[in-house]
């Protein structure tokens, strides 16, 4: 086999020297930059650790407690008496399934009402449909407020105003969903093809007719897809609404955790995780069909 030859060109030294010098300056600049960032982050960590009362010693001293905790909530399942053990683990299954249904309904109603609110407001918040900046900015600020305040804070307030139960949970989810979806919807609306809008306006359509016949057909499948995505999020959120007394399975979970009903904790957690996974799979399938449908058109 003939030996392969490599020709490596090397620049003369006098040309190379300024390039090397330039390279070194650039590297030094980068290193200085990295050092500054590292220093700032370190200072932040120290400050935050002091503020956050971080005690690694406590964590290490109690790390066996964490392991113990997970060991305690693990149900006793023996192979030869599996049926009976499962029945004992899920002794309260009927009740929990009812609460789970409530949780799903809270998520559904919250998503539905929130989506309706977001649907109405998103057109007012879109720069290409509303020329009046006052209306547009008011709608935007309102949506921003609705999504910045956490659901649970709304739920806390509403529990006092509306009383315990599922209703404050539904309203809290609906308001937060309205803020989140309204923003996403408005972004979709701002990216539409403006030709149908011009066509409808030119043919003498009023603003609502223009929105109905020129905008909605373009954005509907995207809206549905975002709505389904939000439903997934809301199922998770609805499962903790019970922490503040706003209905759903969270109520039983928080009680089980606080009162150390160990096997109940794992039973409810497994139920919630399974439900969330199932809902995720189902909505993902529907969303793929929606997107496929969109591409066919």
Partner 1 sequence: MNRARIALTPQDRERLARAHPQILTPGAGARVRALLLVTFLAALAAFGLWRLDISLARVGTGLAQLGHFIVLMLPPDPGTQLPLYIHALGETLAIAFLGTLGGALVAFPFGFLAAKNVIPNIFAHFAVRRFLDTVRGVDKLIWALIFVTVVGLGPFAGILAIATSSFAELGKLFSEAVEALDRKPVEGVVSTGGSPAEAVRFGMLPQVLPVLASQLLYYFESNARQSTIVGIVGAGGLGLHLAEQIRVLEWQKVSFLILMMLVMVAVIDFISSRLRFAIIGKSRIG
Kindly list the residues in this chain that would bind partner 1 in the complex (CB under 8 A): 44-45, 47-49, 51-55, 58-59, 62, 65-66, 69, 101-102, 105-106, 108-109, 112, 145, 148-150, 152-153, 156-158, 160-163, 165-168, 170-171, 236-237, 239-240, 243-244, 247, 253-254, 257-258, 269, 272-273, 276-277
Nearer to partner 1 (CB atom), residue 81 or residue 148: 148
Nearer to partner 1 (CB atom), residue 84 or residue 217: 217
Nearer to partner 1 (CB atom), residue 84 or residue 101: 101
171 Cβ partners below 8 Å, 6+ apart? 110, 154, 158, 162
Q: How far apart are CA 80 and CA 92, in angstroms?
A: 22
Local structure of 81: helix, strand or coil: coil
Nearer to partner 1 (CB atom), residue 130 or residue 162: 162
- The vertex-17 CA angle with 13 and 21, nearest 5°, equals 165
Nearer to partner 1 (CB atom), residue 75 or residue 130: 75
Exposure string over 236-267, b if 16+ CB within 10 A, otherwise e = ebbbbbbbbbbbbbbbbbbebbeeebbbbbbb
Q: What are phi and psi of 80, to 5 degrees?
A: -75, -20
Nearer to partner 1 (CB atom), residue 113 or residue 130: 113
* CB 90 to partner 1: min, Å: 18
Local structure of 143: helix, strand or coil: helix
* CB 175 to partner 1: min, Å: 11
* CB 226 to partner 1: min, Å: 15
* CB 259 to partner 1: min, Å: 11
Q: How far apart are CA 124 and CA 132, in angstroms?
A: 9
* CB 239 to partner 1: min, Å: 7
Per DSSP, helices labelled H in the chain are 13-51, 56-73, 82-89, 93-124, 133-148, 151-162, 166-190, 195-202, 207-210, 216-241, 250-258, 262-296
* CB 188 to partner 1: min, Å: 13
């Amino acid at each position: 086999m003939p030996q392969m030859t490599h020709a490596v060109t090397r620049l003369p030294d006098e040309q190379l020297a300024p390039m090397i010098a330039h390279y070194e300056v650039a590297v030094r600049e980068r290193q200085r930059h990295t050092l500054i960032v590292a220093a700032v982050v370190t200072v932040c960590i120290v400050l935050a650790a002091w503020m956050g009362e971080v005690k690694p010693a406590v964590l290490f001293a109690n790390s066996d407690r964490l392991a113990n905790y997970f060991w305690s909530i693990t149900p006793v399942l023996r192979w030869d008496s599996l049926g009976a053990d499962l029945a004992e683990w899920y002794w309260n299954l009927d009740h929990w399934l009812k609460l789970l249904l409530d949780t799903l309904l809270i998520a559904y109603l919250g998503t539905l009402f929130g989506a309706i609110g977001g649907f109405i407001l998103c057109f007012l918040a879109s720069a290409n449909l509303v020329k009046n900046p006052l209306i547009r900015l008011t709608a935007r600020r309102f949506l921003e407020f609705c999504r910045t305040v956490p659901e649970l804070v709304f739920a806390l307030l509403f529990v006092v105003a509306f009383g315990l139960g599922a209703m404050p949970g539904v309203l809290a989810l609906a308001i937060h969903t309205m803020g989140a979806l309204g923003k996403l919807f408005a972004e979709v609306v701002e990216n539409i093809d403006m030709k149908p809008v011009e066509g409808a306006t030119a043919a003498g359509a009023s603003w609502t007719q223009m929105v109905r016949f020129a905008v909605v057909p373009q954005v509907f499948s995207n809206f549905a897809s975002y709505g389904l995505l939000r439903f997934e999020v809301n199922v998770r959120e609805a499962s903790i609404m019970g922490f503040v007394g706003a209905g759903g399975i969270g109520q039983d979970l928080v009680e089980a955790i606080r009162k150390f009903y160990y096997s109940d904790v794992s039973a409810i957690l497994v139920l919630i995780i399974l439900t969330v996974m199932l809902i995720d799979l189902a909505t993902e399938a529907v969303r793929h069909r929606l997107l496929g449908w969109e591409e066919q058109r």
